[in-house]
Amino acid sequence: MSGRWRALLAVLAITCLLLGGGFGPPQWLRDDTGSLPLAPSQVRALQQYKSPLVSARSAVLLDAASGAILYAKNADERVAPASLTKMMTALVAVERGDLSQKITATEHVYVEPVVIGLDPGEVMTLEDLLYGLLLPSGNDAAVAIAEGVGGTQARFVGWMNEKAEALGLRNTHFLNPHGLDAPGHYSTAEDIARLTLAMMRDPRLARISGTREYTRTGPPLYKFRNSNPLLGTYDGVNGGKTGFTDLAGRCLAVSASRAGHQVIAVVLGSQNIARDGQTLLDYAYGNYEWVTLPVSNSPLLDYHIGQDRVEMGLAQPAEVPLSPWEGREYRGQVVLDRGATTATGLVGWLIVESPLRRLGQFALSAVSARS
């Protein structure tokens, strides 16, 4: 047999082995745990672990305290953000206006399809309009807010883009205050997650977006119901926003907090926003443990989750989410920098040694580090 044929057969054999071994997140085999220094509870957790599967075109799971991305799917893909745009509308409105400000609707409020029913000449406070904006997602409320606070929609949208730049949303650009599809109006799952976090950090907007029903006695009478399918049905959910357009599909940004640990889940272009949102929140609270890292005399802590580098000031001990069950979620170690002297941290990693056998190895230990 010629050397060329032998080389070809060798390539085919390797290809067959790789295809037979399969791809995807590492899965544990029965004989993978014999030589690993793991507690029985850790072994059971590894055996039960499943990587989250969502139908959404793009998705992100964000830890609020550290800013770390815990899960990402097409996180930087620019897509239509639909009515998730209204979170920026609300954020700019409370920064530039006053909740008691009275706003008179103009003829421009006739913006279909979703409206709260404003008529030109009708007067409503900014606070009431914000409920109509964030709960039922009224497009007419968005226009009234933009014109009432900014004078013109164009000026207000300019403020929205300025705020996006200030928040570091590098892949976001707005052309209107409501989110209806328009060429050049776009964002990403990661940017939307950080926008959601900014909105939830404003106590006024956190209160409004976390309200299930709101009644304005009028006249005229308005009753707004929150469209967030997880609010009131999933433990810890405290706010967020839904969205839908033909181009964007169904979208959800949701905030949840348990035991003081807040996470933001975003799904864009989803077949089922409630199921996808719950899948990501289950993944956060079922897979991660928030570990306190006490650090002395160190102005800065760097740590890595996947390819993301996170910096946090250390005026006090910091809590970071660590997952021991999948390699891409946490690799590396606590790194001290910029004048650091002494620290005690945690090191965690998952090493997949062979894609054919899918052999995993895990170690989590306390270490001391000196600069």
Distance CA 218, CA 211 (A): 19
In a domain, 10, yes or no: no
Residues 323 and 194 in one domain: no
Q: Write down the catalytic residue from 137, 209, 227, 270.
A: 137
In a domain, 39, yes or no: no
Tell me the sheet residues that pair with 280.
Answer: none
Residues 217 and 297 in one domain: no
Catalytic residue at 83?
A: yes
In a domain, 14, yes or no: no
Q: Write down the catalytic residue from 83, 187, 255, 298.
A: 83
Which of 287, 304, 339 represents a domain boundary (last residue)? 287
Residues 283 and 139 in one domain: yes
Residues 252 and 110 in one domain: yes
Residues 173 and 65 in one domain: yes
Residue pair 308/69 in contact by the 8 Å Cβ criterion: yes
Query: Which residues constitute the domain of residue 327?
Result: 289-370
Catalytic residue at 86?
A: yes
Which of 287, 314, 330 represents a domain boundary (last residue)? 287
Residue whose pair of structure tokens reads 């033909």 in the numeric block = 246
Distance CA 170, CA 48 (A): 38
Residues 273 and 319 in one domain: no
Gyration radius (Cα) of the chain, Å: 24
Give the residue from 276, 286, 236 showing the smallest Cα distance to 253. 276
Residues 129 and 80 in one domain: yes
Residues 87 and 193 in one domain: yes
Catalytic residue at 227?
A: no
pLDDT at 325: 42
pLDDT at 319: 60
Residue pair 85/133 in contact by the 8 Å Cβ criterion: no
In a domain, 175, yes or no: yes
Distance CA 155, CA 187 (A): 20
Residues 199 and 249 in one domain: yes
Q: Write down the catalytic residue from 86, 227, 255, 323.
A: 86
Residues 206 and 249 in one domain: yes
Cβ atoms within 10 A of the Cβ of 344, count? Answer: 13
Which of 287, 318, 352 represents a domain boundary (last residue)? 287
Domain count, the chain: 2
Q: Tens place of pLDDT for every residue, the chain, 371 residues?
A: 556 656 555 555 554 444 443 333 334 444 444 444 445 555 555 555 556 889 999 999 998 887 878 889 999 999 999 999 999 999 999 999 999 999 999 999 999 898 999 999 999 999 999 999 999 999 999 999 999 999 999 999 999 999 999 999 999 999 999 999 999 999 999 999 999 999 999 999 999 999 999 999 988 999 999 999 999 999 999 999 999 999 999 999 999 999 988 999 999 999 999 999 999 999 888 877 766 544 443 333 344 333 344 443 333 445 656 554 433 233 323 332 223 333 333 333 222 222 222 222 232 222 223 22
pLDDT at 303: 41
Cβ atoms within 10 A of the Cβ of 228, count? Answer: 27
CATH number at residue 183: 3.40.710.10
